[in-house]
Amino acid sequence: MTIVTLYLLLLKATLTSFSGGTSLPSVRQDLVVARHAISDGQLSSAVAISRMGPGPNGAFVICVGHYVAGPAGAAAGYLAMITPAFLAILFLRLLQGRTSHPRWRGAIQGLTAAAAGLMLANSWPIAQSAITSWFPAVLASGALAAFLSRRVETIWVLAATGLLAILGALAGIEMVYSRLHA
């Protein structure tokens, strides 16, 4: 895959994103399912890594780009992430004052609902690559509960889950179900 193709695929994803994370289904479809450029596990890692640092939720495209093509891929991901902001400035200039109209608000709400549905549909395959035994399932359930409570910042959810995973591994808890034991 060329860097230009990677940039265009990531740009397509970020152009359809409303809060960063909504580009995840497009990235997964293009780079995991259609082109096998990365795995679900790598995509999951890219999202987790990007969420641990400051910045927008869509910064995971930088990590995805790096997984696909190294530093040049990371640069393509960064450019794909910032291009929509520049285009939005032009678009907002064209819309000046029209976004309060009920038709525009309805269109934006409909697109947001569609993006949420796409994110939910693509969450299961990504979760399947990470939840491979009872312990990761417990960690994922706890992280989901903490996130949904909206009382715990994402960084603390990720840090606590990572620490528990390390402690579990040190205690000898198997993170991956082995079919050889069955």
Give me the domain span that covers residue 107: 3-123
Q: Quote the pLDDT of residue 132.
A: 84
**Domain total for the chain?**
2
Q: Which of 107, 123, 139 is the last residue of a domain?
A: 123
CA distance 132 to 178: 9
CA distances from 158 to 10, 146, 153 (A): 25, 10, 9
Identify the pLDDT of residue 179: 45
Our separate counts of H helices and E strands in the chain read 7, 0
- At residue 111, φ and ψ (nearest 5 deg) are -65, -35
Do 146 and 82 share a domain, yes or no? no
Please indicate, yes or no, whether residues 118 and 137 belong to a single structural domain of this protein. no
Residue 158: its pLDDT value, please?
Answer: 85
* Judgement on whether residues 136 and 177 belong to the same structural domain of the protein: yes
What is the model's pLDDT at position 177? 58
Per-residue pLDDT at 116: 77
The one-letter amino acid code at 169 reads A
Mean pLDDT (10-residue bins), the chain, 182 residues: 96 77 84 95 89 79 96 96 85 72 78 76 78 89 90 87 90 67 43
Together in a domain, 20 and 105: yes
User: Quick one: which of 123, 120, 20 has its CA closest to 64?
Assistant: 20
Asked which of 123, 140, 163 is the last residue of a domain, the reply is: 123
